[in-house]
Structure 1
């Protein structure tokens, strides 16, 4: 008998039994259930289990926070429940049965960007480090940068751009690969398609505006502009889906005996042609329109209002999964304006949620069980991972979640009001300052302090109000 046996039996009972489980899998800290009937899950009873540190429902999955012991607990649970093992991809497919149309669209977007987020974060850190050594005049009485003072640092500055360029300028390659991966089509064709969008023989996207003339492919009866789509998001996404759907359709009509020859050819060649003739120009215009609207809104006289609303609403967007849409907007802003004023607000929201948890650590300092959840949650939140903090602590009590939203809103107004721009997406917490443009680091620091102090203070104050007392009473504390 395992030490997890009794608690596994309790969890099985409170989620409605084996017959109510469609799929169950786990990640680093959570059990992920796709239930036939979510109403049969007794959330209160589940959260009363000693090993459980919280629950939430997201993307069609009922998720139970276990912690670092989740893998061992999962093995015991599946043995008792008699539920077969399954992959995360299968779990996602099953979960989509519980999603509406908007949730499915967001899920598709998340599936595209999630595999490339590690590269984007690395790229953000690299650009941030290049900021420090190449743009901050910290030597010789503030007149010289590290790169200017030393051949070693000049070499590092130049070398790091090799990685930064690979991640951001050649982003379409990653996007078309991710789409092929998601759609279950030939991934190498997705890579090839992406390369054709950023090929060196094309006029670089960053040089189009200042070019005297644009080279063309001349077919006699028509000419096609030879324009690259470096760092462009929407053209790559549109092209990637065209290639995948072409390949899926061709596999249905071409005999399997010759499919290895004809499917790749008749999928890739038309997809590349359509990408450069139709989708590239259209996608560029759509992307420019979106980025201009967002940038103009944030820099207009009413930018403070947009910032206040976004800062307040970003955390609830995370709950719904809609926050995945901001990745595409951030990347589009970076390609159009050499930076993004949206991403700093995201980092500030994460910091605010972490600060509210720190306040709960202070308020519940005698509750050793909760400390096991709240302390790691606060640390991970300050490093950009908000789920343990939001779902394990803040949403459970509600008032710290509200305090964090208010603090995030005020910090966002300061950030946008002072024109803070990030070079790129980065680590969405305190280390995110490395991704901020050098001229804006001071005001981002001020914004971070606001995102730390206000949520902490408000959480402590709200804990003494009726809202806080009701939360403690509801949780039996």
Structure 2
């Protein structure tokens, strides 16, 4: 008998039996079920299992948080249930039957950006490091930067821009590739499409306003402006979906024996033309409008209100999956304004949730069973992964979740009020300070302190008012 055999049998029973499972897979910490009837799942009994840290439903999947031993639990579950597991992609595909139109759109958005996050994190760290050595005057009584004094670091500064430029300026290439991969289209066509949006022969979109003359493709009867969409998110998303859908439709109607030649030709050329004539300008206007509105909210006299609302509601947004839409807004802000004030607030929300769990660890410090769940959850939260803490501890008791939301809002007000901006997204929790612009790091550190202290203190206060006593 394996370690989780008994609990796996119980989970199978509480989930509604084998016949209620349409698909099952697992990720780093969670079992992901697509259920035929979610009402048959007994959530209270499932969450009472020793190995289960919590449950939640997201993107059409009933997810059971196990923790770091999820792969072992999954193997035991597959053995006792006789249910063959599927890949995460297959599970997501099956889950769409339980999703409405808005949920499907958000799921698509999340799946586009997930493969890009590692590169975006690296890019943010590189830009932050370049700013420290190239922009902050740390040497010779605060009169010179490191790059001005040392040739080696000047070379490093110049070299690292090669990577930073590749990640952010050419981001549309990653987006169109990711869409092609996700939708089952030809990935190299997605890459080529992305390259046509950022080609060096195109005028950089951000240089259009100051350009004396915009180059054009002259077809005689019509002219198309040769404008690039470097660092642009929405034009790339629109173009990527057009290409993938067009290719998939062509595959269905073009005979297989000429498909290899005809389909790429008829899919790529029209899409590139449509991208530069319609989708690019349209996407640019949409993206600029969204980022301008958000930026105005973050810099207006009511920025404190905007920040407090965003900081307060971000954690609930994570529960619904709506938080994925902030990725596109963040990247648009970075491209248009050179940084984003949203991501720092997200990192602070991560920290606040972890601090609420830390308070619960203190309140239950003599409860060994509780600590087995809460200590790993707090650590993961401080590193930017909030699900174990939110679903395993904070939502279970409710008041720590509320305390974290309040602390997050307070920290967000300080962050926005101090005009803190991040170079990149992806680095969350306590390491989030590495993505902050160097000149804002001190202000962000203060906001981090608030995100640590306020939720901790409020959680203890709320616990005392509720009469919660630590186990002895």
TM exceeding 0.5? yes
Question: 1:72 is matched with which residue?
Answer: 72
Partner of residue 97, structure 2 = 97
User: Which moved further from structure 2: 269-278 or 120-129?
Assistant: 120-129
Pair 1:438 & 2:438 matched: yes
Cα contact 1:125–1:426 (8 A) shared by 2:
no
Residue 364 of structure 2 corresponds to 364
Residue in structure 1 matched with residue 138 of structure 2 by the alignment: 138
Per-residue CA deviation, residues 303-345 of structure 1 (Å, 9 max, x unaligned), is 1111111100000000111000000000111111111111111
Is 1:395 aligned to residue 416 of structure 2? no
Long gaps (5+) in structure 2 = none
Deviates more, 1:125-134 or 1:321-330: 125-134
Aligned partner of 1:183 in structure 2 is: 183
When structure 1 is superposed on structure 2, of 139-148 and 222-231 the one drifting more is: 139-148
Aligned-partner SS, 2:393:
helix
Q: Which residue of 1 aligns with 2:242?
A: 242
In 2, Cα distance between equivalents of 1:249 and 1:98: 25
Q: How does 1:398-409 map to 2 (within 5 A)?
A: 398-409=398-409
Q: Does 1:216 align with 2:216?
A: yes
By how many angstroms is 1:386 displaced? 1.1
Q: Is the 8 A contact 1:354 1:379 kept in 2?
A: yes
Identify unmatched segments of 5+ residues in structure 1: none
- Tell me the SS of whatever aligns to 1:424: coil
For residue 206 of structure 1, report the CA deviation from its aligned partner.
2.8
Distance (Å, rounded) in 2 between the aligned partners of 1:209 and 1:433 = 33
Q: Provide the aligned C-alpha RMSD in A.
A: 1.5
Whole-angstrom CA distance in 2 between matches of 1:23 and 1:114: 22
Q: CA deviation at 1:439?
A: 2.3
Shift of 1:412: 0.8
Corresponding residue number in structure 2 for 1:168: 168
Report the alpha carbon displacement of residue 10 of structure 1 after superposing the two structures with TM.
1.0
Q: Residue in 2 aligned with 1:88? A: 88
Alpha-carbon deviation of 1:426? 3.8
What SS is found at the alignment partner of 2:52?
coil
Partner of 2:319: 319
Specify the alignment match of 2:126 in structure 1: 126
**1:59: which partner in 2?**
59
Give the equivalent residue in structure 2 for 1:36. 36
Give the Cα–Cα distance (whole angstroms) in 1 for the partners of residues 379 and 5 of structure 2: 31
Q: Cα distance, 1:63 vs. partner? A: 1.4
Query: Contact 2:310 / 2:409 at 8 angstroms: preserved in 1?
Result: yes
The number of aligned residues is 472
SS of residue matched to 1:25: strand
Q: Secondary structure at the match of 2:62?
A: strand
**How far does residue 359 in structure 1 lie from its aligned partner after superposition?**
1.0
Contact 1:32 1:61 in 2 (8 A): yes
Per mean C-alpha deviation after superposition, the further-off stretch among 443-452 and 51-60 is: 51-60
In structure 1, the partner of 2:338 is 338
Matches within 5 A, 1:426-465: 426-465=426-465
Residues 184-210 of structure 1: per-residue CA shift (max 9 Å, x gap): 100100000000000011112232222
- Distance in 1 between residues matched to 2:404 and 2:143, nearest whole Å: 40
Aligned to 1:464, the other structure's residue is in SS state helix
Give deviations 1:88-123, integer Å, cap 9, x for gaps.
Answer: 111111111222221111101111111111111111
> Mean alpha-carbon deviation: is it higher for 339-348 or for 53-62?
53-62
Q: Distance in 1 between matches of 2:69 and 2:252?
A: 45
SS state at 2:22 partner: strand
Q: Secondary structure at the match of 1:339?
A: coil
- What CA distance in whole angstroms lies between the structure 1 residues aligned with 2:436 and 2:4? 46
